[in-house]
Amino acid sequence: MAMDNIIIPFFIFFLISTLYSSVGHAGASGYLAVMALLSFSPESIKPTSLILNIAVALIASIKFIKEGYFDKKIFYSFIITSLPMAYIGGYISIDSQSFKIFAGYFLLLSALLLFIKTYIKPIAKEPGKIKIIYGLVLGAGIGILSGLIGVGGGIFLSPIIIMANWTDVKKASGVSALFILCNSIAALMGHLTYFQKIDPNIIYWLIAVCIGGILGSHLGTNKFSNKLVTTLLFIVLISAGLKFIVSN
């Protein structure tokens, strides 16, 4: 692999992981976007996204939970059903054309949810209690979709619990980080049960996202606002989503 083909993705993966980990996400939608724009092979995208997700989510989880930004009840409400469904989704094999369509629309939806989470805030009031049934149903849906595409599901979970006012933004980030970690591990285990091919350059991408994850989670637990960058990410996700869809 040419050095330029390592350096450019390395820098972009680092940037994506820094930004996403600052809000408790591991960056899967960003990694998918990068790999789409850089024309990675379809069969390498899913496992690569999940492995990078695990690394960054682990870093973010430790940081946010250590700082006290976590809500056990909300986490368990979603993860009970999400975990087995993520495994099943990871195990399911879909052809490259279907994957591109799924991933393309996922990126478009991710762009919308990222925008909503950043710019549309719920009315300030005391957080309400979550009904377990809501978490179980939503968790199952997020889990199967996460496994199919190769993400952790945080891009769906965070806006839901924030807009429903089940907890504050910081705790939502902590819940999201651990949720992503668990889902990504389950989905990767399911995927490797069926396929065992890993990108040979994964070590470079892992180094990049680990550095970014450490920096981003540090910024996220302190004062950090990235509305301008979120807008840029919105554009990247839209562009990559359309590339996936149009390329079919």
The pLDDT tens digits of the residues spanning 185-235 come to 999 999 888 776 777 889 999 999 999 988 887 776 665 555 655 666 677
The pLDDT tens digits of the residues spanning 54-82 come to 998 898 888 888 888 899 999 999 999 99
- Other Cβ atoms less than 10 A from the Cβ of 195: the count is 14
Confidence at residue 245, expressed as pLDDT on a 0 to 100 scale:
81
Cα–Cα distances (Å) from 152 to 82, 107, 179, 248, in that order, read 10, 13, 7, 25
The pLDDT tens digits of the residues spanning 9-50 come to 899 899 888 877 776 678 888 888 888 888 888 778 888 999
The pLDDT tens digits of the residues spanning 124-174 come to 567 778 889 999 999 999 999 889 888 888 888 888 887 788 888 778 888
Distance CA 61, CA 63 (A): 5
Query: How many structural domains comprise the chain?
Result: 1
pLDDT at 238 over 90: no
- Structure-block tokens of residue 235: 């554009």
3-class SS letters over 119-186: HCCCCCCCCCCCCHHHHHHHHHHHHHHHHHHCCCCHHHHHHHHHHCCCCCHHHHHHHHHHHHHHHHHH
Whole domain around residue 166: which residue ranges?
A: 4-246
Distance CA 25, CA 15 (A): 13
